[in-house]
Amino acid sequence: MRLGIIADTHGLLRPEVCDLFRGVDRILHAGDIGPPELLDRLEAIAPVSAVWGNTDGPELRRRLPEVLETRIEGTDFLLLHGHQLGAPTPDALHARYPSAEVIVYGHTHRPLLVLLDAVVTVMNPGGAGPFRFGLPASAGIMELEPGIPPRARLLPLTGLEEAGHSP
């Protein structure tokens, strides 16, 4: 199974996301979505599981959970935005949610992919929406196969020069 991992779109669904997610089986959105219609556009690509983030309005908060625990292909996932911890870190997330085998979060807009305790994957796909904090936009892909640890990678959607940096 191939998952598209995204967060912090803040109302902007870049065409690069549609290209990157072509052929995924499911999309996980870790909050700060923007207008609810953005989820409908992602649903046209693949089924979406999402949580609301601190900037999402009342319509999304009624429609989505704040934290989602789910099992995908035999792996226990935790999906949350991360605002619940202020400035989330992989260790703090793992301490708060010790049963999760994969933790996907957003909020910081900083891409991150780490393995904790040799068995827990923690992934922040970075911000996929408008430029913030001088970082290029990014998203992730994760592949799941029974009996094999998840394989994931972070992928830039834009270059540093577009984020205001010189090459």
Encode pLDDT of 63-102 as tens digits: 999 999 999 999 999 999 999 998 899 999 999 999 999 9
Q: Is the pLDDT of residue 59 over 50?
A: yes
**pLDDT score at 165:** 46
State the chain's mean pLDDT as an integer: 93
* 3-class SS of residue 97: coil
Q: Is the pLDDT of residue 145 over 70?
A: yes
CATH number at residue 144: 3.60.21.10
Question: What is the domain range of residue 114?
Answer: 2-163
Q: Is 117 left (phi over 0), alpha (psi -120 to 50) or beta?
A: left
pLDDT band at 137 (very low <50, low <70, confident <90, very high): very high
Cα separation of 56 and 4, whole Å? Answer: 20
Cite the beta strand spans of 15-111 per DSSP E: 26-29, 48-50, 67-72, 75-80, 102-104
Q: Is the pLDDT of residue 164 over 60?
A: no
Across the beta sheet with 120-124, what order do the strands follow? 67-72, 75-80, 102-104, 120-124, 112-116
The token duo for 63 is 């429609």
Count: domains in the chain: 1
Q: Is the pLDDT of residue 118 over 90?
A: no
Q: Is the pLDDT of residue 166 over 70?
A: no
Q: What is the pLDDT of residues 40-52, one digit of tens each?
A: 999 999 999 999 9
**pLDDT score at 142:** 98
**pLDDT score at 139:** 98
